[in-house]
Amino acid sequence: MTTIQTVSVGLAERSYDIRVGPGLIENAGSEIKPLIRGNKVFVVTDSTVSGYWLDPLTESLDAAGIEVTTIAVPPGESSKSYADFEYVCGRMLEDGVDRRTAVIALGGGVVGDLAGYCAASVMRGLDFIQIPTTLLAQVDSSVGGKTGINTPQGKNLVGAFHQPKLVLADTGTLASLPKREMLAGYAEVVKYGLIRDPAFFEWLERHGADLIAGDEAARISAVVESCKAKATVVAADEREAGLRELLNFGHTFGHALEAAAGFDGTLLHGEAVSVGMVQALELSRRLGLCPGQDAERARAHLSAMGLRTRVTDIPGAAGWSADALLTSMRRDKKARDGTIRFVLARGIGKAFTSDDVASDAVRTMLQEDLSIAAGI
């Protein structure tokens, strides 16, 4: 039997554990019961995930004497919206929520972000538990307390910091994911190697294909190492005042690409991050900061794994404009007084932040990428 591993997030009285391994959903009731104040929970999920994991979760909660009300939203990024935020909050208020009620997010990053923001808002804050069912959510979005929704102006611009009481990363759920979803999550795993841990990046070069192919040990190792990296950063900088900005490597570009794609499923978040990380490394190379061989090594690994690495890989990109992408970047949460703050790199494992990048340099790079996409 595989041993469940635990990673702790140290935030004083708000510290919590990330439990990693297979079979956690079937035992969720016994894990959750000691942590919640009442005997009622709202499980927020989507209509795809519920078909796989809602019944075993509900059975486990029932066995622990916890009353369950389920709220399902459509799958996909479009559910991180004002409309679905209103819907989920409204259902809770209609169905007898009180301040002892807990919220459980069962699903990927979209469900976790939406449910977490609702938990942060209803009754001015309800206990919250993450049960991430995708690789991306297990290694990134379920950890650290960032919650929120998208707006027409950009991604994750409305939300709150609201830490969970517990994260149950059941690696058994990864077997149900399409390969495209696994690869999208894998981009976030690679991010940890690129920003601070070259040894982890080397490990991924050797074992990444096994991870995607279904090797359980490789998957557990990748989730645990990613969660350790994020837990360390979150404990040092919970509200992204400095160090935590490094976790946005590739995201300044990636979020702009997602907004341009319209959050319609054409471009998954992890796919956008993959392209965005390559763009961040290319910008770093152009600025004389990053060796060209490091930038190419990262791109080659992501590409070999089957991820998108160039704007030309994105359907519809030929019709985008560099100025529109720059406008989205200026709305990035790291921006200060309208100045875009980039996460750049001096090489693999050597990321840093900078607000001293000329917009013209970024515009030129984007225009070159878009010209290739347009066949010019």
What's the rounded Cα separation, in Å, for the pair 280 and 155?
A: 18
Instruction: Select from 369, 177, 171, 376 the least CA-distant residue to 283.
Output: 369
R_g over Cα of the chain: 20
- Which of 209, 358, 203, 344 is closest to 277 using CA atoms? 344
DSSP string, 307-373: ---SGGGSTTGGG--HHHHHHHHHTSTT-BTTB--EEEESSTT-EEEES---HHHHHHHHHHHHHHH
240 a catalytic residue? yes
Domain with CATH 1.20.1090.10 in the chain: 179-373
CB-CB contact of 156 with 148 (8 Å): yes
pLDDT tens per residue across span 143-191: 999 999 999 888 999 999 999 999 999 999 999 999 999 999 999 999 9
Residue 322's CB: how many other CB atoms inside 10 A? 18
- Indicate which residue of 269, 285, 299, 341 is catalytic: 269
The single residue of 94, 124, 206, 336 carrying the catalytic annotation is: 124
d(C-alpha 277, C-alpha 295), whole Å = 9
Per the CB < 8 A criterion, the answer to whether 298 and 281 are in contact is yes
Residue found under tokens 């350790």: 228
pLDDT at 332: 84
Parts of the chain belonging to CATH 3.40.50.1970: 5-176
Please list, in sequence order, all residues whose beta carbon lies within 8 angstroms of the beta carbon of residue 125, skipping any fewer than 6 positions away: 119, 162
CA distance 335 to 322: 18
Respond yes or no: is residue 26 known to be catalytic.
Answer: no
Q: How far apart are CA 5 and CA 51, in angstroms?
A: 27
Helix (H) or strand (E) holding 196: helix 179-196
Other Cβ atoms within 10 Å of 76 Cβ, number: 15
Q: Is-catalytic flag, 301?
A: no
Q: Decide: helix, strand or coil at residue 198.
A: helix
- Residues 6 or more apart whose CB falls under 8 angstroms from that of 194 comprise 201, 249, 277, 281, 298, 345, 348, 349, 351
118 forms beta bridges with none
Give, as one character, the DSSP assignment of residue 318. Answer: G
> In this predicted model, what pLDDT tens digit does every residue of 32-65 receive, in sequence order?
999 999 999 999 999 999 999 999 999 999 999 9
Residue ranges in the chain whose pLDDT is less than 50: none
CATH topology of domain 179-373: Dehydroquinate synthase-like, alpha domain (1.20.1090)
Residue of 255, 285, 301, 341 with catalytic role: 255
- Kindly name the residue from 230, 308, 333, 341 that is annotated as catalytic: 230
Phi, psi of 111, rounded to the nearest 5 degrees = -65, -45
Q: What are phi and psi of 60, to 5 degrees?
A: -65, -40
Q: Is 248 a catalytic residue?
A: yes
333 Rama class: left (phi>0) / alpha (psi -120 to 50) / beta: alpha
Q: How far is CA 335 from CA 36, 48, 242, 252, in A?
A: 37, 35, 12, 10
Residue in 251, 333, 334, 341 annotated catalytic: 251
Triad 76, 274, 178: Cα angle to 5°: 45
Tokens of 229: 């990296």
Indicate the residue type of 266: T
Q: Which position among 240, 245, 258, 271 bears the catalytic label? A: 240
- Given 80, 146, 162, 228, the catalytic residue: 146
114 with 84: CB under 8 angstroms?
yes
Q: Which residue among the candidates 19, 77, 162, 248 is catalytic per the annotation?
A: 248
CATH topology of domain 5-176: Rossmann fold (3.40.50)
Q: Reply yes or no on whether 191 is catalytic.
A: no
Distance CA 40, CA 65 (A): 9
From 165, 244, 308, 334, the catalytic residue: 244
d(CA 116, CA 99): 15
The DSSP line for 152-180 is TTEEEEEEEE---SEEEEEGGGGGGS-HH
Q: Where are the beta strands (DSSP E) in the chain?
A: 5-9, 16-21, 40-46, 67-73, 102-107, 127-132, 146-151, 154-161, 166-170, 342-345, 351-354
Residue 156 is a catalytic residue: no
Contact 140, 115 (CB under 8 A): no
